[in-house]
Amino acid sequence: MILSDDGLGQPDFKRLEREAELWVQLQHPNLVPFIEVSHDISRWPCLISPLYECHVGAFLKDNEGADRKAIILCLASGLEYLHSNNIIHGDLKVSNVLVDRDGNAYIGDFGISKILNRRGYTTRSVGTTPYMAPELLYIVDSGVQQLHPSTTKASDIYSFGLLALEILTSEPPKGRPVRPFITMQTLPELQPNQADYPKVAAGTWSVLDQCFALNPAARPTISTLRIQLYSAFYYAA
């Protein structure tokens, strides 16, 4: 993985160092493992990980019979590991889930991940707009001065819910903004609607729907969500 630049055409060495220091700490079977920082294969230092076949969206397109429920539960397990260590991923989306030739899925790209309550491990980046929780978006007509939003475990849960829907249906998030600016009128329209996802079983929907609560405090923890999803996937009547 080659580090992106800082917006001025120069590599962001501070971000690279920060990501490497965080990434090297992560040890879980559903997280992309860190190998090393290489200074030999590019003009700039690179963070090296194993080579994967593709991201999960491309994998499912070519493997329609893949066990999508198992993939979601594996990702829930990986996110549970991160949250249990007070790490927020911050950018869960289909292109950040990599799949190997055996169909095993891994959460990757920790470039804007952060460790809670630890200096040097915060970031102002808040993810990819179509997957962002509502509290990370700017409401342009709210009449209230908004502070710079910050990713949380609850915003990860919102993104995870959208990611799970995409894995189940092979359809990108519906009705999502492309820029992080919305109005009060469009805020309710962001909420995923069960009618838009007829392929998703009712029991599964009732679990994932909790991820989309407008109040972040009302969203379940990933530990609770993983248990509920397992039950909905394999024990629903």
Give the active site residue among 91, 102, 141, 209: 91
- 17-52 as b/e: b if 16+ CB within 10 A: ebbbebbeebebebbbebeebeeeeeeebbbebeeb
Q: How far apart are CA 138 and CA 136, in angstroms?
A: 7
Which tokens belong to 123? 């970031």
- Catalytic residue flag (residue 12): no
Cβ atoms of 201 and 236 within 8 Å: the answer is yes
Q: How far apart are CA 44 and CA 13, in angstroms?
A: 9
Report the catalytic residues.
91
